[in-house]
Amino acid sequence: MEAVLRLAATAISDRLTLKPQFLGGESRLLPLKILRYERLLSTNTTAYRLAEQSAPEWTVVVADVQTKGRGRGGNKWASPKGGLWFSILLRPNLPNPRLHLLQFLAATATRKAVENETALSVMLKWPNDLVLGNAKLGGILVESKTQGEKVSFAILGIGLNVNQGKAQLPPGAISMRLVSGKQHELRALLRAILDQIRSSFDELDHPSKIMHEWWSNCIHRPLKVQVTLPEDTVTGISRAVAEDGSLIIETDDHRIRKVNEGSLRILDD
């Protein structure tokens, strides 16, 4: 870890985003610091470490390759060259129970940015997937440190398969290049996603708007799904997402179940 952190990072831009943000009534550009590394264990780990060392909000850590990229609950995240792997350090003014909103906001922002940049139609799958066709294009991992009732900082990690070939993708995954037939520019994509996240950031004050927008682009709305929980499996029609981020499923015997974790599989075609 130490060795990785000692690798020189290249600041590719201090002020990448062009949209002015309002802060304390004064319109000004919040600086965005992007640190690019050739190789890291995980951009989330490095961003977390920087947050603990008081790095400012909107520090972005990008790596060409992650050797220990991770997903939820200890899942591995394959991160070879050709994908976009990055983490944003945020200090949102959020109570802990609202932290999930970041993930849903980021999914919508990423979906829009990818669509604008590439014309590919990306859909969302509960809870944290970006999908293209019916394969996984990317995922989001939010990690955080809390202080009392509040989020002290959050690390918003986003991984997207961009230019990898089939051999570099795990089963069930897809890259943009495999669908578009084109090589995509990672830097332009990163810029578009960061811009989109920054311009929608104020929506954190409007949970229903975030969840509504996410649900409008959900691929299993309303399809038959199976959610595997640590000690249970729930099967039924996915009917909605609640404001607390959980998925509402109508089971075969017409009962309503609310699930707030687990892996989802779509059963309908």
> What residue ranges bind ligand BT5 (CB under 6 A)?
42-44, 66, 69-72, 75-79, 85-87, 128-129, 136, 139-141, 157-159, 161, 170, 173
* Residue whose CB is less far from ligand BT5, 22 or 197: 197
Q: What is the closest distance, in whole angstroms, from the C-beta atom of residue 38 to ligand BT5 in the complex?
A: 15
* Residue whose CB is less far from ligand BT5, 76 or 206: 76
Whose CB is nearest to ligand BT5?
A: 139
Q: What is the C-alpha R_g of the chain? A: 18
Q: What is the closest distance, in whole angstroms, from the C-beta atom of residue 79 to ligand BT5 in the complex?
A: 6
* Residue whose CB is less far from ligand BT5, 162 or 237: 162
* Residue whose CB is less far from ligand BT5, 17 or 66: 66
Q: What is the closest distance, in whole angstroms, from the C-beta atom of residue 75 to ligand BT5 in the complex?
A: 4
- Return the number of other C-beta atoms located less than 10 Å from residue 66's C-beta: 25
Q: What is the closest distance, in whole angstroms, from the C-beta atom of residue 149 to ligand BT5 in the complex?
A: 26
Tokens 């780990």, residue located:
45
* Residue whose CB is less far from ligand BT5, 102 or 140: 140
Q: What is the closest distance, in whole angstroms, from the C-beta atom of residue 65 to ligand BT5 in the complex?
A: 11
Q: What is the rounded distance in angstroms from the CA atom of residue 186 to the CA atom of residue 36?
A: 12
Nearby residues of 102 by Cβ (< 8 Å), 6 or more positions away: 90, 92, 94, 142, 154, 156, 204
